[in-house]
């Protein structure tokens, strides 16, 4: 593993538009609203543990190639995105969409694949 950081993509992660995530933010798809809608009393979203695990895995992966990033990169991008594009979302939703945004901006997953995965989750929830 090299000590070199991959750094954010140019011209800056916040300048990359990810319409799928912006749509989620516009629709106010936050856990508190979903929990109320479905009568769930747990204040912690069921996906929070998976989000924490993904962040831990990314943080430990270092920057072995251009598609991965360091703890500092991830946190810096999360801070920028949470203060700009996803400022209206509460925590931990802003952390979740910031991570997805960073992964799309870095080419780890493309927006079409992200949309397909989100559609699959929605289909499971609505079945």
Domain ranges of the chain: 19-126
CA–CA gap between residue 72 and residue 87 (Å, rounded):
20
Count Cβ neighbours within 10 Å for each residue of 106-123 and write b for 16 or more, e otherwise.
Answer: beeeebeebeeeeeeeee
Q: Which of the four pLDDT bands, split at 50, 70 and 90, describes residue 50?
A: very high
The per-residue pLDDT for 63 is 54
Identify whether the C-beta of residue 70 lies closer than 8 Å to the C-beta of residue 62.
yes
Identify whether the C-beta of residue 78 lies closer than 8 Å to the C-beta of residue 95.
yes
Q: Give the model confidence (pLDDT) of 6-49 as tens digits.
A: 544 445 888 899 999 999 999 988 999 989 988 999 999 999 99
User: The whole model's pTM is what?
Assistant: 0.82
Could you count the other beta carbons within 10 Å of the beta carbon of residue 93? 23
Q: Given CA atoms 104, 108, 111, 114 in this order, what sign does their dihedral have?
A: negative
The per-residue pLDDT for 26 is 92
Task: Say if residue 34 is preceded by a cis peptide, omega within 30 of 0.
Answer: no
Question: What Rg, from alpha-carbon coordinates, does the chain have?
Answer: 15
């Amino acid at each position: 593993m090299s000590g070199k950081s991959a750094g954010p993509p140019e011209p800056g992660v916040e300048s990359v538009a990810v319409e799928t995530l912006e749509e989620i933010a516009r629709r106010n798809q936050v856990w508190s609203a979903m929990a109320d809608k479905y009568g769930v009393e747990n204040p912690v979203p069921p996906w929070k543990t998976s989000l924490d695990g993904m962040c831990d895995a990314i943080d430990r992966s270092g920057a072995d190639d251009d598609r991965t990033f360091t703890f500092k990169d991830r946190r810096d991008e999360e801070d920028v995105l949470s203060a700009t594009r996803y400022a209206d979302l509460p925590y931990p939703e802003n952390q979740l969409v910031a991570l997805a945004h960073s992964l799309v901006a870095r080419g780890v997953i493309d927006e079409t694949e992200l949309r397909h995965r989100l559609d699959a989750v929605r289909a499971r929830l609505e079945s």
